[in-house]
Amino acid sequence: MKNDQPKFSKLDKRIGTLGKGISGQVDLYETKNKFGYAVKVYYPKENYESNKEFKIRVLHEYNILSKLDHCNIIKQYKYDVSLLGSTIKLYMPVGSPHLYKLVRNRNNLEQDELLCIWKQLCQGIKYLHSVNICHRDIKLENIIFDSEYKLIKIIDFATAQEVAPDTLSIGLVGSENYAAPETFTSLKYDGKASDIWSLGIILYYLINKKLPWKSAQWNDLDFKQYQTALNEESSNTILFNLGLDAIKESQLLQPDPNKRVSIFDFDYFSWFENIRFCNSIHSCGYNHNQTFK
């Protein structure tokens, strides 16, 4: 993983800021050889007990990512901690704007191209779950393309968790739009199953260009109507225009996590197997650079 790491220097030029959040920002840099990279800068805005606690919390993301090696997972080059321990920088490859920004204002996107993106996302999640890591914040804003606009990358592992088999996750994290219903109602839940729910929300958005509901809770009328339709086995439960097999088999948005499919079940679905997607070797046939850049 380190063979393609650039040589960093204090003379590297800061080009601009890619994004800002509550806890920090992401800046774009360029080496003297015109190699671009991103730096995620954390500065404490919360009341941590100590700089040691701050370092542990922030480097949680780096420590998880440093163990991973998959074409659909963002890499981390290195990290720096300031002398006083109050600022931490994570160095990573530069990519595209996040997927929500790329998709929301584009009309007439072809479904097969969008399914390529979604299947790439599924490959990344399958890898994570195979090494017993759940992301817990899968959303369009945490998916980017690489600099060549071929492979998608899952980013932001701040709330990711390493889980032993049959170990439950604790705490409501992530974004409300994408969160599974059990994360609102249960103190402990299956983090991998919650990732599957988020995959379903993303698939719904890519196909329909809108989110199905604001929050998967009973006080959300859209979600309540959906759950009622499921209980009544109504035809309104058809969420995706992917064919009859997909409708029957894809329990991605099954409110009961015990009935929800796992990422490993996808390999047995013919409709999923037939989705063409880009990987390190093959292309789906679409030029994502031309579509999205």
CATH classification number, 99-292, choose in 3.50.50.60, 1.10.510.10, 1.40.20.10, 3.40.50.1860 = 1.10.510.10
Q: What is the pLDDT of residues 237-264, one digit of tens each?
A: 445 555 545 655 668 888 999 989 999 9
Residues 125-143, mean pLDDT to the nearest whole number: 97
CA distances from residue 160 to 31, 192, 206 in whole angstroms, order as listed: 31, 10, 24
Question: How is residue 258 written in tokens?
Answer: 């015990």
Rounded to two decimals, what is the model's pTM? 0.90
User: Catalytic: which of 12, 69, 112, 137?
Assistant: 137
Q: What is the pLDDT of residues 151-185, one digit of tens each?
A: 999 999 989 999 988 889 998 898 999 999 999 99
Residues 65-90, mean pLDDT to the nearest whole number: 90
Residue 47 has pLDDT above 90, yes or no: no
CA distances from residue 259 to 32, 70, 172, 253 in whole angstroms, order as listed: 54, 28, 21, 10
Mean pLDDT (the chain) is 88
- Give the β-pairing of 24-30 and 36-42: antiparallel
Query: What are residue 257's phi and psi, to 5 degrees?
Result: -60, -25
CATH classification number, 13-93, choose in 3.30.200.20, 3.20.20.70, 3.30.110.70, 3.40.640.10 = 3.30.200.20
Residues 144-150, mean pLDDT to the nearest whole number: 95
137 catalytic? Reply is yes
- Between CA 118 and CA 110 the distance in angstroms is 13
SS3 of the chain: helix, strand, coil, percent, to 5: 35, 15, 50
* Domain(s) of CATH 3.30.200.20: residues in the chain: 13-93
* Domain(s) of CATH 1.10.510.10: residues in the chain: 99-292
**Helix H or strand E segment including 26:** strand 24-30
